[in-house]
Chain A
Amino acid sequence: MRAHPAEYELFAPGGLSAVLSLLAQAPGAWLPIAGGTDVMVQYSAGNLRARRLVSIWNLPELRRIEVLSDEMQIGAGCTYTDLREHGVVSREFALLSSAARWTGGIANQNRGTLGGNIVNASPAADSLPALLVYEAELLLVSVRGERRVPYRDFHVGYRRTQIAPDELIRTICLKRRFSEYYAQARKVGARNAQAIAKVSLAGLGRLADGVVEDIRLAMGSVAPVPLRLTETERIVKGRRVDPVLVQLARKTAAAEVRPIDDIRSTARYRAAVAGNLVAEFLENMSTNGSIT
Chain B
Amino acid sequence: MSESPQPVAKCEISLTVNGQVVTVCVHAMDRLLDVLRHELGLAGTKEGCGEGECGSCSVLMDGMLVNSCLIPALQASGTNIVTIEGLASDGRLRVLQQAFLECGGAQCGICTPGMILAAHHLLRKNPQPTVEEIREGLSGNLCRCTGYMQIFEAVAEAGRREATT
Contact = CB atoms under 8 A, between A and B. Distances in A.
Physical interaction between A and B: yes
B8 interface: yes
Interface string A92-116: 0000000000001111101100000
Q: Which of A5, A9, A108: most chain B Cβ within 10 A?
A: A5
B83 interface: no
A262 interface: no
Given A41-B70, A110-B64, A193-B139, A57 B75 contact: yes
B95 to A, nearest CB: 21
Given A104-B52, A194-B53, A40 B70 contact: yes
A192 B31 CA distance: 28
Interface of B: 5, 7-8, 26-31, 34, 50-53, 55, 58, 64-67, 69-72, 74-75, 77, 118, 121-122, 136-142
Contacts of A81: 64
Given A12-B74, A40-B69, A111-B70, A104 B140 contact: yes
B66 A107 contact: yes
A44 B50 contact: yes
A33 B72 contact: yes
Contacts, number: 107
**For the side of the interface on A, what is the size category?**
20 to 34
A5 B75 CA distance: 14
Contacts of B69: 40, 44
Interface in A259-290: none
B58 A107 contact: yes
B70 A11 contact: no
Given A6-B8, A6-B27, A194 B65 contact: no
Nearest to B139: A193
10 contacts: A5-B27, A7-B5, A8-B27, A10-B72, A12-B74, A45-B51, A53-B29, A106-B137, A192-B139, A193-B140
Nearest to B72: A10
A161 interface: no
A53 B64 CA distance: 24
